[in-house]
């Protein structure tokens, strides 16, 4: 009986979905598209608390993925890109008050050169007492446009600066602008990061690739309740993987679980469209001019979704 009960519960554990959110600025109304007001942040923290979500450090999720331990549906990881001063001034006090861990992804050049809107290394070091610090590139470049050699240089420079100021090696990397392709991923992965994070608006389960973890952006109005409903659709993307020739997308080809008979696909600017699934294979011929310079393609079945980003090189 007990064994059967465990067996019945096991798939739930294995396929449970954690959520990694990404913020940028806080309480900075000059930049509404990347800002989260402090009232909204507080409302989100209250929502997480009231609904028994566990805000965990990224390292805990990394450990569970590596050791194939249970991923908990109630796990939430909070990340912040770009080390804006508004995080340090407006949001860090709230993270401390709620005792919520976070991972701050540092744009190293901005800290090195003390760009006006950004935290300097001393402030980042102070933040590291309450959260983890990851790397967000040196020059915050559009990495799909860089040759592997230039991207390697940017990453080496970022690592050097990070290690000089924080005296440790970063274990996590988040792509600037969330932009990447298979070559960018290969170059960044060659530096041995434990996790690499994108911004593809999906959840994380035991089948997620630690070097390609989906994050969901949380800016503007309070959408956290809705975004916590997103689950991961395990997807093997076959085409597209890159910006297509001339920006004309000719097919969507991917593999999902064989139990699904129908799915929907989405292309930025084009809405959702139903597509048939045969033996777990999605194959849709089309001829669509993609809006540049970047475009998202999603597959969805119910609440499960999986997306990729295509970037004009």
The tokens for 7 are: 């067996």
Q: Measure the CA–CA gap between 215 and 130, rounded to whole angstroms.
A: 21
The smaller minimum CB distance to Zn ion, of residues 81 and 154, is found at: 81
- Map the footprint of Zn ion across residues 176-235, applying CB under 5 A: 176
The smaller minimum CB distance to Zn ion, of residues 34 and 231, is found at: 34
Q: Dump the DSSP string for 131-150.
A: SEEEE--SS---GGGS-HHH
The smaller minimum CB distance to Zn ion, of residues 140 and 253, is found at: 140
Minimum separation from the CB atom of position 105 to Zn ion (A): 7
Q: Measure the CA–CA gap between 82 and 75, rounded to whole angstroms.
A: 23
Minimum separation from the CB atom of position 279 to Zn ion (A): 40
The smaller minimum CB distance to Zn ion, of residues 75 and 118, is found at: 118
The smaller minimum CB distance to Zn ion, of residues 58 and 64, is found at: 58
User: What three-state secondary structure class fits 276?
Assistant: strand
Contact 213, 189 (CB under 8 A): no
Q: Which range of residues in 27-35, 87-95, 172-180, 276-284 is near Zn ion by CB under 5 A? A: 172-180
Q: Measure the CA–CA gap between 180 and 169, rounded to whole angstroms.
A: 22
Q: Measure the CA–CA gap between 230 and 219, rounded to whole angstroms.
A: 16
User: What three-state secondary structure class fits 32?
Assistant: helix
Could you say whether residue 109 binds Zn ion (CB under 5 A)? no
The smaller minimum CB distance to Zn ion, of residues 25 and 165, is found at: 25
The smaller minimum CB distance to Zn ion, of residues 137 and 202, is found at: 137
Minimum separation from the CB atom of position 107 to Zn ion (A): 6
* Cα–Cα separations (whole angstroms), residue 54 to 42, 49, 70: 16, 8, 14
Contact 231, 16 (CB under 8 A): no
Q: Which range of residues in 94-102, 158-166, 173-181, 195-203 is near Zn ion by CB under 5 A? A: 173-181
Q: Which range of residues in 63-71, 171-179, 206-214, 246-254 is near Zn ion by CB under 5 A? A: 171-179
* DSSP letter, residue 191: T
Minimum separation from the CB atom of position 34 to Zn ion (A): 9
Count of other CB atoms within 10 angstroms of residue 248: 11
Helix (H) / strand (E) containing 252? strand 248-255
- The CA-CA-CA angle for residues 203, 207, 212, to 5°, reads 65
Minimum separation from the CB atom of position 81 to Zn ion (A): 4
Minimum separation from the CB atom of position 176 to Zn ion (A): 5
The smaller minimum CB distance to Zn ion, of residues 16 and 151, is found at: 151
Could you say whether residue 35 binds Zn ion (CB under 5 A)? no
For residue 240, say if its preceding peptide bond is cis, omega within 30 degrees of 0: yes
Minimum separation from the CB atom of position 171 to Zn ion (A): 18
Interaction pattern, residues 65-84, with Zn ion; x per rule: CB under 5 A: ----------------xx--
Q: Which range of residues in 32-40, 168-176, 203-211, 303-311 is near Zn ion by CB under 5 A? A: 168-176
Q: Measure the CA–CA gap between 238 and 172, rounded to whole angstroms.
A: 26
Residues that bind Zn ion (CB under 5 A): 81-82, 176
């Amino acid at each position: 009986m007990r064994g059967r009960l465990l067996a019945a519960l096991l798939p739930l554990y294995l396929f449970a979905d954690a959520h990694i959110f990404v913020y940028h600025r806080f309480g900075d109304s000059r930049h509404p598209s990347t800002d989260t007001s402090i009232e909204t942040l507080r409302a989100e923290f209250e929502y997480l608390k009231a609904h028994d979500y566990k805000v965990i450090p990224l390292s805990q999720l990394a450990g569970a993925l590596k050791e194939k331990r249970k991923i908990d549906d109630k796990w939430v990881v909070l990340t912040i890109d770009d080390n804006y001063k508004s995080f340090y001034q407006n949001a860090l006090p709230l993270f401390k008050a709620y005792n919520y861990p976070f991972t701050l992804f540092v744009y190293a050049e901005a800290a090195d050169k003390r760009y006006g809107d950004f935290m300097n290394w001393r402030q980042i070091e102070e933040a590291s007492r309450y959260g983890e610090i990851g790397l967000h590139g040196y020059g915050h470049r559009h990495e799909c446009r860089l040759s592997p050699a230039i991207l390697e240089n940017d990453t080496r420079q970022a690592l050097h600066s990070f290690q000089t100021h924080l005296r440790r090696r970063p274990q996590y990397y988040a792509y600037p602008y969330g932009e990447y392709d298979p070559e960018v991923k290969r170059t960044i992965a060659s530096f041995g990061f434990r996790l690499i994070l994108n911004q593809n608006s999906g959840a994380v389960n035991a089948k997620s690739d630690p070097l390609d973890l989906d994050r969901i952006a949380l800016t503007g109005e309070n959408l956290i309740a809705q975004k916590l409903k997103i689950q991961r659709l395990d997807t093997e993307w076959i085409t597209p993987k890159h910006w297509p020739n001339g920006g004309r997308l000719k097919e969507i080809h991917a593999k999902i679980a064989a139990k699904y008979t129908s799915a929907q696909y989405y292309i930025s600017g084009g809405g959702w469209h139903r597509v048939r699934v045969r033996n777990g294979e999605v194959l849709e011929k089309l001829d669509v001019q993609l809006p540049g310079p970047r475009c998202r393609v999603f597959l969805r079945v119910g609440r499960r979704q999986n997306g990729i980003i295509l970037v004009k090189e």
